[in-house]
Amino acid sequence: MSGTAETDPITLEVIRHRLDTIAEEMEATLLRSSCSPIVKEGLDASASLFTVAGGTLAQACAIPVHLGTLIPAVAAILQEFPLETMREGDIYTMNDPYLGGTHLPDFAIVLPVFHGGEPIAIAAAMTHHQDVGGKTAGSVPTDSTEIYQEGLRVPPLRWVRDGIFDEALTKLLRLNVRIPDIFIGDLHAQIAACKIASVRLGELAERHGGAFLVRAFQTLLDRSETMTRAALAALPDGSYRFSDGLDNDGVEFDRRLRICVEITLSGGTIHFDLTGTSGEARGPVNCVPSGSLAAACYAVRAVTDASIPNNAGCFRPISLTLPEGSLVNPRPPAPVNARTATIKRVTGCMLGALAQAAPDRMPAANAGALVVMAFGGRSIRHGTFVTGDLLAGGSGASQDCDGVDAIETDATNCMNVPAEAMELEAPIRVTRCALRKDTGGAGLHRGGLGLVKEFEVLPDAPDGVSFSHRGERHFLPPPGMAGGGDGGCALSYIQRADGRREEIPSKMVTRLAPGEKVSVGTAGGAGWGEPRARERRAVIEDVANGKTTVEAARDVYGLTDTPAEAG
- Residue 565 predicted with pLDDT over 90: no
Q: What is the pLDDT of residue 561?
A: 78
Interval 324-363: pLDDT, tens:
999 999 999 999 999 999 999 999 999 999 999 999 899 9
Q: What is the pTM of this model?
A: 0.96
393, amino acid identity: G
Q: Is 1's pLDDT higher than 50?
A: no
Distance, in Å, from the CA atom of 19 to the CA atom of 111, rounded to the nearest integer, reads 16
> Residue 4: pLDDT band by 50, 70, 90 thresholds?
very low
How does pLDDT run across 43-63, given as a tens digit for each residue?
999 999 999 999 999 999 999
Q: How far apart are CA 438 and CA 486, in angstroms?
A: 11
Residue 30 has pLDDT above 80, yes or no: yes
pLDDT over 70 for what percent of the chain? 98
Which one-letter amino acid corresponds to residue 228? T
Q: Which residues of 408-545 form beta strands (DSSP E)? A: 428-435, 451-457, 465-470, 491-495, 501-503, 507-512, 517-521
Element (H, E) at 420: helix 419-425
Burial class (CB in 10 A: 0-12, 13-18, 19+), 309: buried
Contact at 8 Å (CB) between 54 and 78?
Answer: yes
Q: How confident is the model at residue 566 (pLDDT cuts 50, 70, 90)?
A: low
In the predicted structure, residue 564 carries a pLDDT above the cut 90: no
pLDDT, tens digit (0-9, with 9 covering 90-100), for 76-121: 999 999 999 999 999 999 999 999 999 999 999 999 999 999 999 9
Name the band, by pLDDT with cuts 50, 70 and 90, for residue 8: confident
Alpha carbon 556 to chain centroid distance?
34
Q: Say yes or no to pLDDT of 158 above 50.
A: yes
DSSP string, 77-95: HHHHS-GGG--TT-EEEE-
Q: What's the average model confidence in pLDDT over 485-491?
A: 98
Say what the pLDDT of residue 7 is.
58
The pLDDT, as a whole number, for residue 214 is 96
Model confidence at 2: pLDDT above 50: no
pLDDT, tens only, 251-289: 999 999 999 999 999 999 999 999 999 999 999 999 999
Q: pLDDT higher for 302 or 566?
A: 302
Contact predicate 544/565, CB 8 Å: yes
Q: What is the pLDDT of residues 373-388, one digit of tens each?
A: 999 999 999 899 999 9
A 10 A CB-CB count for 508 gives 20
Q: Give the Cα separation of 170 and 174 in Å (integer).
A: 6
Per-residue pLDDT for 512 more than 60?
A: yes
Q: In this structure, are residues 390 and 370 in contact, taking their beta carbons and an 8 Å threshold?
A: yes
Residues 466-481 have pLDDT tens digits of 999 999 999 999 999 9
Look at residue 3 in the predicted model and tell me its pLDDT. 42
Q: Find the DSSP H helices in 163-308.
A: 167-175, 180-208, 210-233, 289-303
Instruction: Please name the helix (run of DSSP H) or strand (run of DSSP E) that holds residue 73, with its range, or none.
Output: helix 64-80
Report how far residue 367's alpha carbon sits from residue 345's, in angstroms, rounded to the nearest whole number: 10
Run of H or E including 33: helix 9-33
Closest-CA residue to 524 (of 341, 297, 366, 362): 366
